[in-house]
Each structure stands twice: as C-alpha cells, then as structure tokens.
A and B are shown apart, each in its own frame.
Chain A
Amino acid sequence: MDFSLSKEHEMARKLFKDFAENEVKPLAQEVDETEKFPSGTVEKMKNNGFLGIAVPKEYGGQGCDPLAYVMCVEELSKVCATTGVIVSAHSSLCCDPIMTYGTEAQKQKFLIPLAKGEKLGAFGLTEPGAGTDAQGQQTKAVLDGDTYILNGSKCFITNGKEADVYIIFAITDVVKDVKGRTKKIISAFIVEKGTPGFTFGTKEKKMGIRGSATYELIFTDCRIPKENLLGKEGEGFHIAMHTLDGGRIGIAAQALGIAEGALDRTKEYVMERKQFGRSIGQQQNTQFRIADMAVRVEASQLLVYKAAIAKATKKNYSVEAAMAKLYAAETAMAVTTECVQLHGGYGYIREYDVERMMRDAKITEIYEGTSEVQRMVIAASLLK
C-alpha cells in the first residue's frame, strides 16, 4: 500500500494550486458578496481543460483519472467553494452519466462540447417534494411519436440557467409491483437549454456557495427528441443513484478543500494574533485544536482519494463515496466552525475568508445526499 502520489499527480496538484491562487482566490470574496456567477473563471477553466479532466481524449477530455479530477475540485475549493462546485456538478453530474450511459451519437453531440468546456452541464433530480426520497418525483415524460413531452419542475439545480445541457429525470410509467404497491418508473433525459417549454424559475438566495447559480427548472409541454433518452426507459433511478455515487466524491473533494483552506488561513492567523504577550499559536489550547483539525483533514483526504481510486478501479464504489462524503463534509463543518472560533471576533467579519468558508461548508452536509443518506448507504452495505 503506497500513499505517495505519482509525479503526474504531484504536478497536476501544482497546476490546480497555481490556477486557484492566481485566478480564483482574488475573486472569491467578490463572488460571495455579489452572488455573481464567475463566468470569467469558467472561461479560463475551459481554456485550461479543467471541464473535462476525467473524460477520455477521444471525447474532447483530458484523459486523466478521477484522482486528478478530485484534486482539481479540492484545490479550487480551498480558495473558492463556488468554483469547486461548478466544476463538480458539470463533471460528475453531467459529463459522467453521458460518458457511462450515453449512446455514441449522444457522446458525439453532447459529451465532446461539455468536455471541451464549450458547454456547461447540470443535473436535475431534486423536486420540491422529492429530495432524499427520489421516488417522490412528480415530473412526467410522455412519449408522443418521436418526442417525449416533459411536464414538471426541478429545484435547487446547481449551474441552473448557466448550463447548456441538463440531465433531467422524469416518470415515464407507473406500475404495480408484486405486492401491489405503486412504483414509478423513472427515466433520464438530456435536455438542452433553449428547448421550447423549458424555462427557469427564481434564482435561490443561499447561505453559502453564493456565486453558484441555483435555479428552479420548469418544464411545460417541453418536447425532447426521443434520441435524448439517456440509457433505457426505466433506467433513470439507477442512473441517478450511480451518478450521485460519483458526484459525492466531487462534493467530498469540495468539502476537503474547504476544510484545508480554512485550516491554512487559521494556521497563519494564530501565529500572527497576539494576546497576553504572545501569539495564540503558542498557547497549548490552540495547538491542540490545530492538531485535532489537521488529523481530521488528513483522514478526510485519505477517504476522498481512496474513493477516487475506487471509482477508477471498481464497478461499485457507493460505500467508499458515501464514507468520503460523510466524513469530509462533517469535517468541513467542524473545522470551519473551529477556525472561526480561533479567529475570535475577526472570524465573524466577512472580510476574513473563514467566515465565508463556514457558510460554504454547510451545504456539503446537505446536497448530493445528506449526511443521513450517506449513513443509510453505509449501514445498508454493512447490515445485509
């Protein structure tokens, strides 16, 4: 068992770190304050291949492994969690399912421009009444000749309105199972922005990741070409769950980045901040807290990287992904809260990065499966 990174990965980290420091960090506070989607940064990431890191070269991507992708989200999130989630939602939730379940024609038409970053991707599963209970879906798709007619709405959609390509889940049938219970048959569709009948609702005002565009998607008699069905009819629930397994690794990386970023800032701060004649970093209480945080961050990184490697090598990596997301998200929340505490009053002021990081951290315990869902997934694998 070798815990050292390859030279390629070391250099990739240097690239992501340099990019994050030079291009992303200077804007992080403004992006949060103005809640403005960082289009300029997305354009730069497109030019540098960051929007197709784990997509094979023949489909316009960079041909790297999931670990390199995870390191990108991690480094971006160290300085700006908004930028991290833009990449994660685009890559894990839109590129990935097309790569895994798309037909060759769908890959040619959608995956190539997505991987090149010419188009941005999003994913719509959540509905007002269907969060953790994905079976609670109301959105319907009815086949009419060569098109499916989509009706319904999706909420809390990351990259909403900014994205060009959306993976949308809808009910295509309702059946009774052997016990006579009603079961919704869910299918996945690739929906393009601009399709008549596809509009956007209000933009959500959020606690954190405020520059990330979060919208409601509304479908009113929206006709989707039959060839945009992703996978087979009825395969939607499986596609959604499998896609979220991958997405969770991306969010785990985002959470890891937030925790690392907050800890980095705090290490600097406690050495500078003087109280009672010496830096607070010289007080044992501070030292113990820093040590405890560093251990949690290190453990998170091991879990996140392990999950990324599992994605590259294993067919099923649900448990690894769930463990990584659960632990990294709870670490991000705990560490950022502690970092604010160590900053004292300054930590509560928006001028200091840790204030933003604490708000950003919270979402990682909620989206792409709450911490409770991760525990359900982990327990289900243990107690069979």
Chain B
Amino acid sequence: MKIVVCIKQVPDTAGEVKFKPDGSLDRAAMLTIMNHDDKAGLEAALRLKEKYGAEVTVLTMGLPKAEDVLREAMAMGADKAVLVTDRVLGGADTWATSTTLAGAIRNMEYDLIITGRQAIDGDTAQVGPQISEHLGIPVISYAQKIEVEGDSVIVERQYEDRYHVLKAKMPCLITALAELNEPRYMTPGGIFDAYKKEITVWGRKDLKDVDDSDLGLAGSPTKIAKASDKVRKGAGIKVDNLGAAEAADYVVNTLKEKFVI
C-alpha cells in the first residue's frame, strides 16, 4: 500500500503571530510546528504501515523552511518526503493550494491520501476535500478511526453526537482529526537518519495538469480584507467585598443579564 500524507507547517500558537503588509501571514518570521490534525493523519498512516505494511510519503507546499516538518515526519517514521516550493505558488488560498497539491500527487503512486481536517492557521477544512475533487476520488472527512479491509478503507466519521461508519474503495482521501490518535514522538536515531535522506523538491514545472491561473496569489479567489492578531480582552469588572453566597448570586445574575445562562 502507498500512502501520501499532506502536512502543513503552521505558526506555533504559543509564539507571536506576524503578518505581512498585504495581510497574509509572515511565515518566515514565526516559530512553526506541524499542524496537529496533519500529525494525527501521519500517525494514522504510520500505524497502517505497521499493521498492513505501507510506504508513507509526506507532502507539503511551503517555503523552503517547510523542510523542517518533512524532516520531523521522517524522524517519526515516514519513508519519503516531497516539498513543493516556488515563488509563483506563494499567497495561495485553499483553491490554489489544493490545485498545487493535486498537481504534485498526480506524479505519485497512491492508494490512500490522508490530510488533516484543517490547519490551525486558516481553519477552513477545505484543502483535503478539494484535493479529492481535483483527483476524482472519494473523500471521507473527520476520521476518528481508520481500518483497511482488502482494497477498501473502513472509517469512523465523527459527528457531534455520533459517528458514521463508511467504507470506501481505494484510492481515496481521508481527512484526519487530532483526536484520531496520540502521535508518537520522533526517535533520536530517526532524527539523525532523517537528515541523511533526500527530500524531493518540486517547483511549478513539476506540477501535472494544472493551469497557472489556478496557482498562487493570482489564482486565489479568496482575497484577505483584513487580518489581525488575537483581540485582547478588556480589563473586565472587578467586584470586591462579597461573601461566597453573594458572589455566586452576583455571577449567576450577571450571566443571566447577558443571556449566557
């Protein structure tokens, strides 16, 4: 079985968020991590590899420094890594991103594609399903459990109060939730091996069956009107000198006044 896992280098929300003048994220200036849902997707792929045998390739589009998350993925156990990087691909929204990734995947052999549900920087949850549309394969989103049976996958799809069990014939695409599993740590030896491996680097010319008009900032239908860091909350109201019962009444009444409860 061949599994392609799409991963994204995202800003570490523990650090500071920085923007470029055009409102897009200044990725080069921020601390970064592997997106949580993607890491769960990678872990799922590695478990399938251990259980059924598979070759796991990680794929990312990003700045050259996105190499770091690919190395991390290989240090966790991924076999191969592909970095798609090119100036003309910069500023991509979900449409341009999924077009790019699909263009890269068309060069690869795959039975299963796993992406994270969504990235913590954009929170759109669109890229995974869009890739499946570009490639014309089924998609099962929000996977909380993945099993393989013959040439099919059986996936539990999470809903708010229940889950659905779906079966799809491979090749297909699954989007993974962070709750799917507890991703493993890298191993020390895996890290040193990961830096000995080659990373395949592709640019615009290596993408298959894509139009320039669908790529990068120019090919992105989404335009950012405004972006800002987390809005700081105000100082709040401080009430002193209340007994425990009075304080509880005050809190309950205030919440009622604001229609919170």
Residues of A within 8 A of B (CB): 6-8, 11-12, 15, 18-19, 48-50, 53, 57, 61-64, 68, 72
CA distance A49 to B191 in the complex (A): 11
Which B residues are in CB contact (< 8 Å) with A7?
71, 195
* 5 tightest Cβ-Cβ pairs between the two chains A and B: A62-B189, A49-B187, A62-B188, A8-B195, A11-B191
Q: Is residue B192 within 8 Å, beta carbon to beta carbon, of the partner chain?
A: yes
CB of B75 closer than 8 Å to a CB of A: yes
State whether B189 touches A61 (Cβ < 8 A). yes
Q: Within 8 Å CB of B191, what residues of A?
A: 8, 11-12, 15, 64
Across the interface, do A57 and B189 meet the contact criterion of CB distance under 8 Å?
yes
Interface residue ranges, B against A (CB under 8 Å): 68, 71-72, 75, 184-192, 194-195
Determine if B71 and A11 form an interchain contact, defined as CB atoms under 8 angstroms apart: yes
Complex interface: chain B residues within 8 A of A61 (CB): 189
B178 to chain A, nearest CB (A): 15
* B108 nearest CB across to chain A (Å): 26
Query: Could you write out 22 A-B pairs with CB less than 8 Å apart?
Result: A8-B192, A11-B68, A11-B71, A11-B191, A11-B194, A12-B191, A15-B186, A15-B188, A19-B185, A48-B184, A48-B187, A49-B187, A49-B188, A49-B189, A53-B189, A62-B188, A62-B189, A63-B189, A63-B192, A64-B189, A64-B191, A72-B188
- What is the CA–CA distance of A19 and B190 in the complex, to the nearest angstrom? 15
With A8-B195, A11-B72 known as contacts, the answer to whether A68 contacts B185 (CB < 8 A) is: no
Q: Which residues of A contact B188 (CB under 8 A)?
A: 12, 15, 48-50, 53, 62, 64, 68, 72
- Cα(A381)–Cα(B194), bound, Å: 40
Most buried by B among A19, A62, A63: A62
Q: Is the interface of B mostly helix, strand, loop or mixed?
A: helix
- What residue of chain B has the Cβ atom nearest to residue A7's Cβ? B195
User: Using Cβ atoms and an 8 Å threshold, which residues of chain B touch A57?
Assistant: 189
B194 / chain A contacts, CB cutoff of 8 Å: 11
Q: Within the assembled complex, what's the spacing in Å between the Cα atoms of A64 and B71?
A: 16
Minimum CB–CB distance from A11 to chain B (whole Å) comes to: 5
CA A191 – CA B259 in complex, angstroms?
A: 71
Given A63-B192, A64-B192, A68-B192 in contact, is the A11-B187 Cβ separation under 8 Å? Answer: no
CB distance from A29 to the nearest CB of B (A): 23
Rounded to whole angstroms, the CA-CA distance of A8 and B190 in the bound complex is 10
Q: Which residues of A contact B75 (CB under 8 A)?
A: 11, 15
CA distance A11 to B195 in the complex (A): 10
Chain B residues with CB below 8 A from A12, complex form: 188, 191-192
Give the residues in chain A near B186, CB-CB below 8 Å.
11, 15
CB distance from A48 to the nearest CB of B (A): 5
Residues of chain A lying within 8 A (CB to CB) of residue B190: 49
Residues of the B chain whose Cβ atoms lie less than 8 Å from the Cβ of A48: 184-185, 187-188
| B39–chain A nearest beta-carbon distance, Å | 12
A18 touches B189 (CB 8 A): no
How distant is the Cα of A48 from the Cα of B195 in the complex, in angstroms? 18
Question: What is the CB-to-nearest-CB distance from B71 to chain A, in angstroms, rounded to a whole number?
Answer: 7
Contacts A8-B192, A48-B185, A49-B187 known; 20 new A-B pairs at CB < 8 A: A7-B71, A7-B195, A11-B75, A11-B186, A11-B191, A11-B194, A12-B191, A15-B186, A19-B185, A49-B188, A49-B189, A53-B188, A53-B189, A61-B189, A62-B187, A62-B189, A62-B192, A63-B192, A64-B192, A68-B188
User: Chain A residue with minimal CB distance to B75?
Assistant: A11
Closest residue of A by beta carbon distance from B193: A63
Determine the residue in chain A with the shortest Cβ distance to B185.
Answer: A48
CA distance A18 to B191 in the complex (A): 14
Residue contact A18 to B185, C-beta cutoff 8 Å: yes
Bound form: Cα–Cα A322–B126 in Å: 58
Select from chain A the residue with minimum beta-carbon distance to B72.
Answer: A11
> Once bound together, how far apart are the Cα atoms of A137 and B184, in whole Å?
46
* Alpha-carbon separation in the docked complex, A378 to B186 (Å): 38
> Distance (Å) between the CB of A109 and the closest chain B CB?
22
> What A residues does B185 contact at CB under 8 A?
15, 18-19, 48
Q: Which of B72, B185, B188, B192 has the most CB of A within 10 A?
A: B188
Name the residue among A7, A19, A57 with the largest chain B CB count within 10 angstroms: A7
Complex Cα gap A12–B185 (Å): 11
Residues of chain A contacted by B192 (CB below 8 angstroms): 8, 12, 62-64, 68
Which residues of chain B are within 8 angstroms of A49 by Cβ–Cβ distance? Answer: 187-190
Nearest A residue to B187 via CB reads A49
Which among B72, B184, B185, B190 has the highest number of chain A CB atoms within 10 Å?
Answer: B185
Across the interface, name the chain B residue whose C-beta is closest to A19. B185
**What distance in Å separates the Cβ of A201 from its nearest Cβ neighbour in chain B?**
35
Nearest CB on B from A148, distance (A): 36
Bound form: Cα–Cα A49–B71 in Å: 18
A53 to chain B: closest CB distance in Å?
5
Complex Cα spacing A68 to B188, Å: 8
